[in-house]
Amino acid sequence: MFSINYEREISDRIRARVGFGWWTSESFFSDAETSLTTVPVTLAGLLGRGAHRLELGGGLTFGNREEENIPEASGTFLSLTGLVGYRYHRPGPGFLFRAGFTPFYGFGDEDVAYPDKGFFPSLGISFGYAF
């Protein structure tokens, strides 16, 4: 799943981020589609100096799941999400790379909770531009 994200400096070591992600998948065995949209909102602290830094943070991921032909498995969800990762960015405008462990804790109905109800480990990588 992909997300487009905007990040803003709150202080020298704190960054706020909001994103928008979406995905559609189709079953091999039927024409039923699953659509997911997500809105991650996180705060992260940066440790270290220079181009190579450690990023620690967390926040909330809001979203909506649409299961075609399965209305009971469709609806909105809310998950807690965390971040422990590596961040590469030379000071000043330029290329940004991030990679890390991004666990979730999904709340709500078991059929709708994202990624699943309860704790769920996950990984992520990011490419972008800082300015």
Least separation in angstroms between CB 2 and other proteins: 4
The secondary structure of residue 117, as a DSSP letter, is B
60 with 85: CB under 8 angstroms?
A: no
Least separation in angstroms between CB 100 and other proteins: 7
> What is each CA distance from 99 to 27, 84, 114, in whole angstroms?
30, 9, 21
- 29: contact with other proteins by CB under 8 A: yes
Q: Please select the residue that binds other proteins; options are 49, 50, 71, 129, rule is CB under 8 A.
A: 129
Least separation in angstroms between CB 40 and other proteins: 4
Binding mask 106-125 for other proteins (x = CB under 8 A): -----x--xxx---x-xxxx
- 36: contact with other proteins by CB under 8 A: yes
Separation between Cα atoms, residue 1 and residue 77, nearest integer Å: 16
Q: Which letter, b or e, does each residue of 80-93 get, where b requires 16 or more Cβ atoms within 10 Å of its Cβ?
A: ebbbebebebeeee
96 with 129: CB under 8 angstroms?
A: yes
Binding interface with other proteins (CB under 8 A): 1-9, 15, 17, 19-30, 34, 36, 38-40, 42, 59, 61, 73, 81, 83, 89, 91-93, 96, 98, 100, 102, 104, 111, 114-116, 120, 122-131
